[in-house]
Structure formats: structure tokens, C-alpha cells
Amino acid sequence: MRALIQRVTRASVTVDGDTIGAIDHGLLILVCAMQGDTPAQSAKLAAKISKLRVFQDDGGKMNLSLKDTGGAALIVSQFTLASDTSRGNRPGFSAAASPADGRALYEQFITDVSALDIPVQTGQFGADMAVDLCNDGPVTLWLDV
């Protein structure tokens, strides 16, 4: 699985003009299931993200994790993270999991993060979403598991 995480002071996702998920301090997690991904990879990615020390301690160093700070996660599916831009000018997405597998792994990832006692808000799988955020730092990290 692949994720792009952004440390945020706030983030929200809107579908058809309605806000369906919003957090304050925490992580916006854009997640993509790739072909061949398994539920075990979802659990591994959730555990990794929950423990990443990307929040500042009292000394200003990135020493605290999402779990340490009590922050929340806004999890949004984004199959375009599977893009291949190595040929031509149109991205290819053949490395992404099928829609059915992608949905199942997205829902599994939400379950896995929630099971770590992290408050979770979500986007809507397959929807045309508007994501609004205030990147804190900015801190943005790419993860593959």
C-alpha cells in the first residue's frame, strides 16, 4: 500500500458541497491500494503511520507520534498515487488495485487505524472529493509498504 501523509492543523473533505469528514491537529492520510496488496500490508501501514515521530516536542524537535499527541487522522482514498508517468504525458494507473480490492483495502485501513485508538474521519471511496487542509510545517511524507 502507498500513502502520502501531511501533518495538518486542520483538514476536511467535501462531497457535493457537504463536509463529510474533518479534523483539527493530526494527519491527512491519502492512501492507495496497489495491485497485490493484502490486509497485512494495511495493518503494517497503519502501525507505521501511528508511530511516525513527525510532531514537535517541547524542544521543537520532531519526536512525537500521532498517538503521543492525541491527534486525529483524516483518511482519503486516492488511486492517483499509483500513477506511472514514465512514458508520455498521460499518467497510467494500471498499478492500482481494482476498484473492488481498493475499496476493501481502504476500508480495512480505516479499521486498522481506528483499532490503534486514533480518532478517524474519512472521505468517500470513489467520490469526486474536495480536500481542504492547512499543512503544518509543511511536513509531507511518502510511504510504501
Please identify every residue annotated as catalytic.
78-80
Contact by Cβ (8 Å): 139, 7: yes
Number of neighbouring beta carbons within 10 Å of residue 143: 15
Exposure string for 36-60, b = 16+ CB within 10 A, e = fewer: ebeeebbbebbeebbebebbbeeee
